[in-house]
């Protein structure tokens, strides 16, 4: 079910103009812990909603790790990184 929600959200994000731009996820990691919080993601991609973030956060810890980010990029939920 989570995959279905993620795909539906992806369709919505693809239509957003900012979602097509590359993002600097390394720079977004404000505290340098190697993970991205919702606030860190929204600092560079304000169009990312809480629902999208939750769909991408596969382990439900409230942070995106590199694996979750890679899956989100592959599925078109998040733009590719430029850094």
Q: Which tens digit of pLDDT belongs to each residue from 11-55?
A: 444 434 334 345 788 889 999 999 999 999 999 989 899 999 999
How many residues belong to the chain?
Answer: 83
pLDDT reported for residue 78: 86
Q: How far apart (Å, rounded) are the C-alpha atoms in residues 30 and 74?
A: 24
User: Domain containing 25: what range?
Assistant: 2-74
CATH code, domain with 64: 1.10.238.10
Specify burial of residue 22 (Cβ count, 10 A radius: 0-12, 13-18, 19+): exposed
Domain count, the chain: 1
Q: Let me know if residue 82 belongs to a domain.
A: no
Q: Quick check: is 22 in a domain? A: yes
């Amino acid at each position: 079910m989570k995959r279905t929600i993620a795909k539906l959200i992806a369709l919505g994000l693809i239509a957003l103009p900012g979602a097509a731009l590359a993002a600097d996820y390394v720079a977004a990691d404000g505290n340098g812990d190697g993970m991205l919080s919702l606030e860190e993601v929204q600092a560079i991609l304000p169009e990312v909603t809480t629902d999208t973030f939750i769909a991408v956060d596969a382990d439900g810890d409230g942070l995106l790790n590199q694996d979750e980010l890679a899956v989100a990029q592959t599925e078109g939920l998040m733009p590719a990184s430029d850094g």
